[in-house]
Amino acid sequence: MYDVIVRGGLVVDGSGAPGYLGDVAVQDGKIVAVGQITGDALRFVEAEGRIVAPGFIDPHTHFDVQLLWDGAAKPALEHGITCVVPGNCSLSLAPLRAADRQQVIGMFQQIEEMPPAAFTEAFEWTWEDFAGYRAAIEKSLSINVAPLVGHSVIRLWVMGPHAQERAADAGEISAMQDMLRECLDAGAVGLSTSFVDVDENGRPVPSRFAQFEELDALSAVLGEYGRMLQIVPEFYAIDITIARIDQLAELSLKHNIPTTFSPVFDSTATPDNVARTVARVEEQFSRGARVWPQMQTRPIDISFSLLRPSLFFARLPRWVRILRQPLEQRIAALRDPETVAKMVADTGPDGGERMMGRLVVRGGDGAPVELTGRTLSDIAKDRGEVTALALINLSLEHGLDVALLSANAGHEVTDRIGPMLAHPLVHIGASDGGAHLASFSTYGDTGYLFSEFVRKSGALSLEQAVAKLTAETADIWGLKDRGRLEAGKAADIVIFDAATIGRGEERPAFDMPGNGMRYVRAATGIDTVLVNGQVAYAGGQYSEARAGVVCV
Contacts (Cβ under 8 Å, ≥6 apart) of 158: 168, 172, 175, 176, 179
Shortest Å, Cβ 209 to other proteins:
17
Q: How far apart are CA 548 and CA 73, in angstroms?
A: 11
Are the beta carbons of 96 and 183 closer than 8 angstroms? Answer: no
Contact, 418 vs 451, CB < 8 A?
Answer: no
* Residues from 146 through 165 that contact other proteins (CB under 8 A): none
Shortest Å distance, C-beta 405 to other proteins: 9
Shortest Cβ distance from residue 410 to other proteins (Å)?
3
CA–CA gap between residue 90 and residue 99 (Å, rounded): 19
Candidates 315, 383, 456, 480; binder of other proteins (CB under 8 A) is: 315
Residue with smaller CB distance to other proteins, 17 or 314: 314
Residue 440 binds other proteins (CB under 8 A): yes
HSE toward the beta carbon, residue 45, CA cutoff 13 A = 30
* Least Cβ distance, residue 268 to other proteins (angstroms): 9
Q: Which of residues 130, 133, 312, 453 is near other proteins by CB under 8 A? A: 312
Q: Which of these ranges, 86-94, 313-321, 467-475, 521-529, lies near other proteins under the rule CB under 8 A?
A: 313-321
CA-CA distance, 191 to 338, in Å (whole number)? 57
Dihedral of CA 35/38/39/45: which sign?
positive
For residue 195, state whether it binds other proteins (rule: CB under 8 A): no
> Of the two residues 223 and 309, which places its CB atom closer to other proteins in the complex?
309
Question: Mask of contacts with other proteins, 385-424, x by CB under 8 A?
Answer: ---------------------x--xxx-------------
Given a contact cutoff of 8 angstroms between Cβ atoms, the answer to whether 189 and 227 are in contact is: yes
Of the pair 309, 478, the CB lying nearest other proteins is at 309
Q: Which is nearer to other proteins, 239 or 370 (CB)?
A: 239
Q: Least distance from C-beta 202 to other proteins, angstroms? A: 8
- 415 class by beta-carbon count within 10 Å (0-12 exposed, 13-18 middle, 19+ buried): exposed
Nearer to other proteins, 238 or 538 (CB): 238
CB nearer to other proteins: pick between 164 and 543? 164
Cα–Cα distance for residue pair 247/173, rounded to 1 Å: 19
Q: Among 465, 443, 445, which Cα is nearest to 454's? A: 465
Identified binder of other proteins from the candidate list 287, 321, 342, 456, rule CB under 8 A: 321
CA distance 363 to 355: 21
Residue 68 falls in which region: left (phi positive, over 0), alpha (psi -120 to 50) or beta: alpha
Provide the CB-side half-sphere exposure for 59 (13 A, CA). 37
Distance in Å, CB of 210 to other proteins, minimum? 20
Least Å distance, CB 542 to other proteins, is 28
CB of 528 vs other proteins, minimal distance in Å = 32
Site residues for other proteins, window 486-515 (CB under 8 A)?
none
> Which region among 160-168, 212-220, 234-242, 458-466 touches other proteins (by CB under 8 A)?
234-242
DSSP, collapsed to helix, strand or coil, labels residue 72 as: coil
- Cα 331 from Cα 7, distance rounded (Å): 62
Considering the rule CB under 8 A, would residue 325 count as an interface residue with other proteins? no
Task: Identify which of residues 310 and 393 has a Cβ nearer to other proteins in the complex.
Answer: 310
Binding region for other proteins (CB under 8 A) out of 205-213, 295-303, 383-391, 490-498: 295-303
**Which residue number, 130 or 195, has a Cβ lying nearer to other proteins?**
195
Shortest distance, position 404 Cβ to other proteins, whole Å: 11
Is 236 one of the binding residues for other proteins (CB under 8 A)? yes
Q: Which is nearer to other proteins, 136 or 316 (CB)?
A: 316
C-beta of residue 90 within 8 angstroms of C-beta of residue 96: no
Q: Which among 351, 350, 349 is positioned nearest to 340, based on CA atoms?
A: 351
Q: Give the whole-angstrom CA distance, residue 182 versus residue 171.
A: 17
- Smallest distance, other proteins to C-beta of residue 432, A: 9
Quick one: which of 33, 320, 396, 538 contacts other proteins (CB under 8 A)? 320
Q: Does 443 bind other proteins (CB under 8 A)?
A: no
The alpha-helical segments, DSSP class H, found in 363-505 are 376-383, 387-397, 414-422, 445-448, 462-469, 471-477
x/- binding map, residues 247-266, to other proteins, per CB under 8 A? ----------------x-x-
Out of 39, 226, 317, 458, which residue is the one contacting other proteins (CB under 8 A)? 317
Using CB under 8 A, which of the segments 186-194, 302-310, 470-478, 543-551 binds other proteins? 302-310
| Count of C-beta atoms within a 10 Å radius of residue 288 | 10
CB burial class (10 A; 0-12, 13-18, 19+) of residue 156? buried
Does residue 324 belong to the site contacting other proteins (CB under 8 A)?
yes
Q: What is the Cα–Cα distance from 202 to 107, expressed in whole angstroms?
A: 10
Of the pair 315, 480, the CB lying nearest other proteins is at: 315
Report how far residue 304's alpha carbon sits from residue 294's, in angstroms, rounded to the nearest whole number. Answer: 26
Using CB under 8 A as the binding rule, whether residue 270 contacts other proteins is answered as yes
Q: Which is nearer to other proteins, 132 or 410 (CB)?
A: 410
**CA–CA dist 255, 218 (Å, integer):** 10
- Report which residue type is found at 56: F
Q: Which positions touch other proteins (CB under 8 A)?
A: 235-239, 263, 265, 267, 269-270, 273, 300-304, 309-312, 314-318, 320-321, 324, 406, 409-411, 436, 439-440
